[in-house]
């Protein structure tokens, strides 16, 4: 059965967060005249995000969107790196680096083809303003922008997947999540969605591919990139 709509994870699936964040950190360092292991800081910034969401999930933090979580992590990382006295506006600008991530080379072409046949939306833990600014800058042709922020539940909580289907007025089984991460796809599958895995071998950097533990037949579609996904979905 064909899906009626496709919902896309974004960080790592649509956009190459790591190269983009390293680029932004290098610019930040260049403006300040400081040198650090920017790739390491980018990795740490990203690594800080699942535990931060867990704090929200456990109620240790009130609802805080990703811009808020990213900023908390960033302030700690700057302190740990001995970078002090940066004014708030500069920290805010750096924090919004996550609004300025570059798409993978196949993303816009694949999405444009998929849009001609399917309704395409984001379904990201990124907040609405982040996703909207990202799409505008990168030319991502979403039909709408749906975020975990709207449900105050981060993926892989079922509320995020089911809330997306409800807003689109489709049954969970008519909605397909597209993601490069098995944990996200498993959350979607548990909530009754269809699933498409897209391989992003460079997400964590060249030669730093994480081992895949996906079982044969676990997801409905296995795609090499968005152009391959469009081919497989007849778009």
What are the residues binding a copy of itself (CB under 8 A)? 67, 119, 121, 127-129, 131-133, 135-136, 142-146, 149-150, 167-170
Residue placing its CB nearer to a copy of itself in the complex, 41 or 178: 178
CA geometry: angle at 88 spanning 84 and 94, to 5°?
85
The residues facing 119 across adjacent strands are: 5
CA geometry: angle at 108 spanning 103 and 113, to 5°?
150
For the record, the structure tokens of 121 come out as 């939306």
CB of 119 to a copy of itself, least distance (A): 6
CB of 173 to a copy of itself, least distance (A): 16
SS3 category, 181: coil
Residue that the structure tokens 């920017």 belong to: 38
Residue placing its CB nearer to a copy of itself in the complex, 13 or 121: 121
Residue placing its CB nearer to a copy of itself in the complex, 39 or 167: 167
Residue placing its CB nearer to a copy of itself in the complex, 9 or 149: 149
CB of 54 to a copy of itself, least distance (A): 24
CB of 103 to a copy of itself, least distance (A): 16
Handedness of CA 106, 131, 141, 194 (dihedral sign): positive
Closest CA to 165 of 133, 119, 127: 119
Residue placing its CB nearer to a copy of itself in the complex, 132 or 232: 132
**CA distances, 126 to each of 96, 146, 214 (Å):** 11, 9, 25
SS3 category, 128: helix
CB of 150 to a copy of itself, least distance (A): 6
């Amino acid at each position: 059965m064909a899906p009626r709509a496709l919902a896309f994870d974004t960080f790592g699936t649509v956009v190459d967060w790591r190269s983009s964040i390293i680029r932004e950190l290098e610019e930040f360092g260049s403006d300040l005249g400081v040198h650090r292991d920017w790739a390491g800081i980018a990795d740490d910034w990203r690594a800080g995000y699942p535990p931060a969401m867990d704090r929200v999930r456990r109620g240790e933090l009130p609802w805080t969107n990703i811009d808020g979580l990213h900023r908390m992590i960033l302030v700690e990382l700057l302190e740990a790196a001995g970078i002090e006295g940066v004014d708030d506006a500069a920290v805010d600008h750096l924090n919004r680096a996550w609004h300025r991530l570059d798409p993978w080379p196949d993303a816009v072409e694949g999405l444009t083809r998929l849009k001609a046949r399917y309704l395409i939306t984001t379904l990201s833990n990124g907040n609405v303003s982040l996703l909207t600014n990202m799409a505008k800058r990168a030319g991502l042709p979403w039909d709408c922008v749906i975020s975990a922020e709207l449900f105050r539940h981060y993926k892989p909580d079922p509320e995020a997947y089911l809330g997306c289907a409800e807003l689109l007025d489709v049954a969970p089984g008519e909605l397909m999540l597209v993601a490069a991460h098995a944990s996200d796809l498993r959350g979607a599958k548990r909530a009754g969605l269809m699933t498409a895995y897209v391989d992003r071998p460079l997400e964590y950097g060249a030669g730093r591919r994480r081992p895949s533990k996906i079982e044969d037949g676990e997801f409905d579609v296995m795609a090499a990139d968005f152009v391959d996904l469009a081919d497989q979905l007849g778009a």
